């Protein structure tokens, strides 16, 4: 058995920048342990698995089931792999629709193709104050912070972009804390805000550009900066840019993507 497999750099239009994700197209769902094994073999921060929804309309090609796996676990929400999945469906001519729907563990997500960019409609994750162990700051290489909040991931706000850029976390120590991911963010010099994302607990020491983190970052910075449209940069070594818009209880995340690899995954059954 074979299945089409692609690798895509998300939140960039430049090869080898942004966040790489694998996209695997399936005719039907495989056992979870097989999906996990494929994601481990890909060894990227996320692999997106897609199965087309069965429809009475033969021409309908815009609704898909979507799941995401890191090399070690399944996650409930992933932005860059959703962007990668939509990019492949559109750029490979698999779907002719300019609006795609994905049914996921986080509900139905919508992605629209607008002027060579893709806009994802995601749920807001409202930040809530969170007390943290001071040792966590030490694991990040920080002595102090301005704010700590939580919703799905931990958000730590620091004073300036340079503090975010020069972080050198102790990933072994950071893995001991009970958070899916830890985001460190600050106001940006040339953008509204910058961030980095660390997830050693789910097998991803540093995620290059994290769409789902911006579901939490957007409402925080929208309130702080008193504006609903914000330009964000995740300043990992690969880096990437996301246009964020807060619309009620939804966040619109806009970015670009570029295909890096086309191939087939060979399965022994």
Annotated catalytic residues are 46
Long-range contacts of 57-63 (CB under 8 A, 24+ apart): 61/94, 61/95, 61/96, 61/97, 62/95, 62/97, 62/99, 62/100, 62/101, 63/100, 63/101, 63/102, 63/103
Is the CB of residue 102 less than 8 Å from the CB of residue 85?
yes
d(CA 256, CA 209): 12
CA-wise closest residue to 87 among 66, 115, 113 = 113
Tell me the pairing of strands 19-26 and 63-69.
Answer: unpaired
Q: How many CB atoms are located within 10 Å of the residue 205 CB? A: 13
d(CA 66, CA 63): 10
Beta bridge partners of 207: 197
Is the CB of residue 197 less than 8 Å from the CB of residue 181?
yes
């Amino acid at each position: 058995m074979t299945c089409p497999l692609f690798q895509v750099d998300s939140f960039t239009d430049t090869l080898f920048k942004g966040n790489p994700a694998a996209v695997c197209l399936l005719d039907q769902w495989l056992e979870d342990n097989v999906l996990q094994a494929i994601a481990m073999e890909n060894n990227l921060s996320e692999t997106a698995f897609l199965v087309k929804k069965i429809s009475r309309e033969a021409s309908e090609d815009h609704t898909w089931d979507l799941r995401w796996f890191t090399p070690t676990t399944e996650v409930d929400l992933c932005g860059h792999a959703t962007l990668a999945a939509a990019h492949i469906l559109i750029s490979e001519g698999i779907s002719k629709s300019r609006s795609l729907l994905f049914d996921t563990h986080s509900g139905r997500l919508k992605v629209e193709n607008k002027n060579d960019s893709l806009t994802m409609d995601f749920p807001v994750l409202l930040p809530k104050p969170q007390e943290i162990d001071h040792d966590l700051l030490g694991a990040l290489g920080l002595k102090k912070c301005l704010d700590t909040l939580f919703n799905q991931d931990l958000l730590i706000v620091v004073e300036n972009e340079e503090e975010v850029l020069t972080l050198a976390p102790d990933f072994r120590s950071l893995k001991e804390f009970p958070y899916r991911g830890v985001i460190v963010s600050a106001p940006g010099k040339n953008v509204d805000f910058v961030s980095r994302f660390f997830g050693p607990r789910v097998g991803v020491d540093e995620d290059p550009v994290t769409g789902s983190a911006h579901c939490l970052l957007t409402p925080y910075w929208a309130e702080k900066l008193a504006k609903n449209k914000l330009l964000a940069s995740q300043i990992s070594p690969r880096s990437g840019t996301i246009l964020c818009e807060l619309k009620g209880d939804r966040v619109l995340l806009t970015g670009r993507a570029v295909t890096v690899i086309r191939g087939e995954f060979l399965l022994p059954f």
